[in-house]
């Protein structure tokens, strides 16, 4: 079964429906991004009325491409079932940390996002989350018979098969790599979701700290020691809870850490 990240599909469709672009007044060439133009000074910003038809067509084409790409790559000739997952209005993480995803409220959302979400719910087999995110539902559903379709790097914290909507490629995340990706996030935080992590630690430094470690026990030991060194041990539980994506057998990071601790010699 294909598990489709509906949040990504909805957002992309809503953005496409805004029908905004830059037009070179001299050549008439259109650009989706200002930086792509050879002469940015000659650009005129064009914003046409919201187009619901474009939004609906984008949803249909996105899901069609996802399903057919995966069938082709996996050489699956039979019909493949799929479900779409959308985030609901409630999320337990917001109760843990008031600033969680607060910057997204400032940036706002595409005007047609509500329309697109309702369209997806009516047209497709869709699950809407309650007190969690679509990512958590995807994580809990993932098993050896499923494949997650998204572009969200956070979902690489979930082991199993994945399909990247942007590169249109299939790849596998091992259980070890999934936990390593989680530990990396705990060290560096997630600026997109307003999770700070440790001060002055970005992706390069986090990767360096975990380099050469070949077992999950040592990965977590490194994280704990880093937080202790930064005098932030009291923040570790909150950061890890915010970042952990629920899995089929491990709804919390503590349940997973407890399992690997049992293997400590």
Q: What is the span of the domain harbouring residue 233?
A: 175-261
Task: State whether 153 and 191 are in the same domain.
Answer: no
Find the range with the poorest average confidence among 60-64, 108-112, 159-163: 108-112
Exposure letters 181-219 (e unless 16+ CB within 10 A, then b)? bbbbbbbbbbeebbbebbeebeeeebeebbeebeebeeb
Task: State whether 199 and 154 are in the same domain.
Answer: no
Q: Is residue 21 part of a domain?
A: no
C-alpha dihedral (163, 168, 169, 172), degrees to nearest 10: -10
CA distance 6 to 66: 12
The confidence score (pLDDT) of residue 24 equals 85
| SS3 state at 133 | coil
Reported as a single tens digit per residue, the pLDDT across 187-230 is 999 988 889 999 999 999 999 999 999 999 999 999 999 999 99
Task: State whether 257 and 221 are in the same domain.
Answer: yes
Which of 173, 191, 211 is at the close of a domain? 173
Query: In Å, how far are 11, 51, 128, 229 from 112, measured between CA atoms?
Result: 9, 9, 18, 46
Task: State whether 145 and 240 are in the same domain.
Answer: no
Could you identify the residue written with the tokens 């949803």?
Answer: 59
Task: State whether 142 and 11 are in the same domain.
Answer: yes
Q: Report how many domains make up the chain.
A: 2
CB-CB contact of 161 with 172 (8 Å): yes
Task: State whether 71 and 94 are in the same domain.
Answer: yes
CA angle at residue 208 from 202 to 210, to 5 degrees?
A: 105
Flag whether pLDDT at 105 surpasses 70: no
């Amino acid at each position: 079964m294909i598990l489709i990240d509906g949040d990504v599909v909805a957002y992309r469709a809503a953005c496409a429906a805004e029908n905004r672009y830059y037009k070179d007044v001299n050549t008439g060439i259109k650009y989706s991004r200002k930086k792509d133009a050879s002469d940015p000074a000659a650009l005129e910003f064009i914003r046409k009325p919201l187009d619901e038809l474009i939004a609906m067509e984008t949803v249909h084409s996105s899901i069609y491409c996802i399903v057919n790409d995966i069938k082709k790559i996996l050489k699956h000739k039979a019909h493949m079932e799929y479900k779409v997952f959308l985030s609901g209005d409630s999320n337990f993480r917001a109760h843990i940390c008031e600033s969680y995803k607060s910057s997204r409220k400032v940036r706002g959302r595409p005007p047609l996002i509500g329309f697109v979400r309702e369209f997806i719910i009516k047209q497709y087999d869709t699950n809407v989350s309650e007190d969690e995110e679509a990512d958590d539902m995807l994580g809990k559903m993932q098993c050896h018979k499923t494949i997650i379709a998204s572009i969200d790097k956070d979902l690489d914290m979930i082991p199993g098969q994945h399909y990247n909507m942007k590169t249109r490629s299939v790849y596998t995340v091992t259980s070890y790599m999934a936990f390593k990706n989680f530990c990396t996030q705990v060290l560096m935080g997630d600026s997109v979701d307003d999770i700070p992590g440790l001060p002055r630690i970005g992706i390069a430094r986090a990767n360096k700290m975990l380099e050469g470690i070949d077992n999950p026990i040592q990965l977590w030991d490194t994280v704990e020691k880093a937080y202790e060194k930064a005098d932030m041990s009291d923040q570790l539980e909150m950061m890890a809870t915010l970042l952990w994506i629920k899995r089929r057998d491990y709804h919390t990071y503590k349940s997973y850490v407890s399992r690997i601790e049992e293997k400590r010699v």
